[in-house]
Amino acid sequence: MPADVVFRVGRAYGMTAERRIHQAVAVEDGRITAVGRARDELDSLIGPGTAVIDDPELVLYPAFADTHNHQLLAARDLDYVPLEQARSLDELVQALREAATRTPPGQWIISSRCWHETHLREGRLPTARELDAASGGHPVFVQRGGHVGVANSAALRMAGITATSADPPSGTVVRLGDGTPAGALIEAGALDPVRRLLPPVTEAQQADLLARQCRLYNQRGIGVVRDPGLVPDELAVYQAVADRGELTTRTRLMFWVLPQATVAGTLAYIDSLPEPGPISADGGLGIWGLKLGMDGGVEGGFLCQPYANNPEFRGHAFWEPDDFEQVVEHAVGRGWRVGCHAVGDCAVGRVLDAYERVASRHPGLPPGTLVIEHAFLADAGIRARAVRLGVGVTVQHPLLYSLGGNLVRYWGQDRTGQVMPVRAWVDEGALIAAGSDCNVSFFDPLLSIWGLVTRGTRTVGVQGPEYRVDAYTAIRLYTEAAGRLLREDGDVGILAPGAFADIVGFRADLLDCPVDDLPSQQPALTLVGGRPVHDPDGLLGLLGAAGHGAA
Ligand SMILES: [Zn+2]
């Protein structure tokens, strides 16, 4: 049976345990059907309809899998005001002012979430008063990551946040000495009164944005995404894009489970969700599991020792231990996998305590049923327990890269160096995979791989160099290890017969090039399910146009 595509290339890294390097790869019906050690080894599979990519410069890897990427949230940011490039509060306000001049008075000016105040000369968030300089006639909401936002005076007024309004039961409204809200709102309890007022984006608009976001990922070699934290309605957006054939990242979804007023309410919510498992027959879309959140971010993570900048504060925990355990127990009993956000050491410990008790009641629970997202602070004891229990861990160097400055400020130098001890996790045999936490940070897997190798950050230099890994390991965390974390090993993250033909090609060997050249490498070709989703040179252009072998 002739193949759809046969690659005859310089190298193709299988990324399997045997570390095999091939020179020929055959693809048929969206899957890899054969690999060969020599360039001509699969020539017998070339038929009249086979596209042959004969390029000795090309180096192939499994397409990158980002195991923690808020793909739909990031997509929604595409049309918001980007602030990543701002280097000072002046530049930030100027970007918002320009948006205001294009926006009818009274309508919202909203920023994208992927920027950070430590990248500004002033090193701090803007105030409401400063945002008022962008526009007095528009409500302005500057979002930053998932846990922090700043509203201008008009937006605060509309949300009913005033000098005399009650503080939310959770989260922080930052106030000036006289009680006037300063503008900054921290955690959902404080943010929600503003978020509720933001104009809805229609499902059709979201679908268009999501398709655009997928293409941006493909351009940087991403073929697989695990999207942690959807509400059920958002499944329809994904399905619409998949039905249009425009979901060009293989996507695994997680539903957000927030603590309801009662545990029974939370359990009922879980029972109301669509069932976990594949959604599209071709493996393009599926539901991975549930997402819970134990603590805040850098400013609100639940630490065992006080914050470096506030001896009275140890962060926020969003779940009582017993409630959390009941919810995880219920979910596991119903066949769900659970990934829980935990950054502070006390949060990680609390999640692991519950996981351990749940696992003890479910002997033979497959590894990776229970996952900790981020696990910023995980000492040897924590790691040993996680490894023993088969608890998965997802790490995101882009968070350390972007948030390093704030980590030093809030958690101190020592704890910042300990954040995400990737090398230790790998050496100790953890089920660990990498990702970005886009849109809290950037999604670029090549900059992220550079970061895993160097432990470099944007503003505070190298942090925790003892946790560096080699480039092969870094790429493996973005490929084969991700397939195992997803429990799709054999299908995802390797170049081997039977696996999905999710492939990225470069005209340089990422394992051979100087480490500082990694971030500037450009994928020459990305395939997902055998279909070219990024093909700037038109190597497989006709195949894509015909929809042949489509994912
Ligand atoms: Zn996240």
- pLDDT for res 543: 52
Residues 377-390: b if buried by 16+ CB within 10 A, e if exposed: bbeeebbebbbebb
Chunk the chain into consecutive blocks of 10 residues (it has 551) and report each block's average pLDDT, rounded to whole numbers: 96 95 97 98 96 97 98 94 94 97 95 88 95 94 92 97 94 95 95 96 95 98 97 96 96 96 97 95 96 94 97 95 98 98 98 98 96 98 98 98 94 98 98 95 96 96 98 98 97 98 98 96 98 94 46 37
In whole angstroms, give the CA distance from residue 535 to residue 55: 14
CA–centroid distance, residue 30 to ligand 1 (Å): 30
Centre of ligand 1 from the C-alpha of residue 512, in Å: 32
At 55, phi and psi to the nearest 5? -150, 100
Alpha helices of 106-220 — where are they, by DSSP H? Answer: 128-132, 153-158, 188-195, 203-219
For residue 534, the Cα-to-chain-centroid distance in whole angstroms is 20
pLDDT tens sequence across 422-456: 999 999 999 999 999 998 889 999 999 999 999 99
> How many A from CA of 137 to the centre of ligand 1?
33
* Res 145: pLDDT: 83
Nearest Cα to Cα of residue 337 among 280, 260, 262, 252: 252
Task: Give the per-residue pLDDT at 550.
Answer: 37
Tell me, in angstroms, the distance from the centre of ligand 1 to residue 228's CA.
Answer: 6
Digit-coded pLDDT (tens) for 342-372:
999 999 999 999 999 999 999 999 999 999 9
> What is the pTM assigned to this prediction?
0.90
Q: Residue 1, exposed/middle/buried by CB under 10 A (0-12, 13-18, 19+)?
A: exposed
Q: Can you give 446-474 as a three-state secondary structure string?
A: HHHHHHHHHCCCCCCCCCCHHHCCCHHHH
CA-based R_g, the chain, Å: 23
- Token readout for 424 is 């230790």
70 CA distance to ligand 1 centroid (A)? 6
501 half-sphere exposure, CB direction, 13 A CA radius: 26
Q: Which of 287, 283, 290 is nearest to 492 (CA)?
A: 283
Q: How far is the first Cα of the chain from the last one, in angstroms, to the nearest whole number?
A: 20
In the reported structure, the alpha carbon of residue 249 is separated from the centroid of ligand 1 by a whole-number distance in angstroms of 18
Distance CA 173, CA 170 (A): 10
User: CA-CA distance, 458 to 456, in Å (whole number)?
Assistant: 7
Ligand 1 centroid vs 35 CA: distance in angstroms?
36
**C-alpha 402 to ligand 1 mean position (Å):** 14
Label each residue of 256-279 as H, E or C. Answer: ECCCCCCHHHHHHHHHHCCCCEEC
Give the pair of three-digit tokens for residue 67. 């195991």
Work out the angle at residue 423's Cα, subtended by the Cα atoms of residues 421 and 425, and round it to the nearest 5 degrees: 70
The CA 344 to ligand 1 mean position distance, Å, reads 14
Q: Tell me how far the alpha carbon of residue 513 lies from the centroid of ligand 1, in angstroms.
A: 31
Copy the structure tokens of residue 167: 């503080």
Cα–ligand 1 centroid distance for 234 (angstroms): 16
Residues in Cβ contact with 397 at an 8 Å cutoff, skipping those fewer than 6 apart: 420, 422, 434, 448, 451, 452, 455
The answer to whether 268 and 242 are in contact (CB under 8 A) is no
437 CA from centroid of ligand 1 (Å): 5
Per-residue pLDDT at 238: 98
Q: Which residues contact 367 (CB under 8 A, 6 or more apart)?
A: 390, 391, 392, 431, 487
Residue 298 alpha carbon to ligand 1 centre in Å: 12
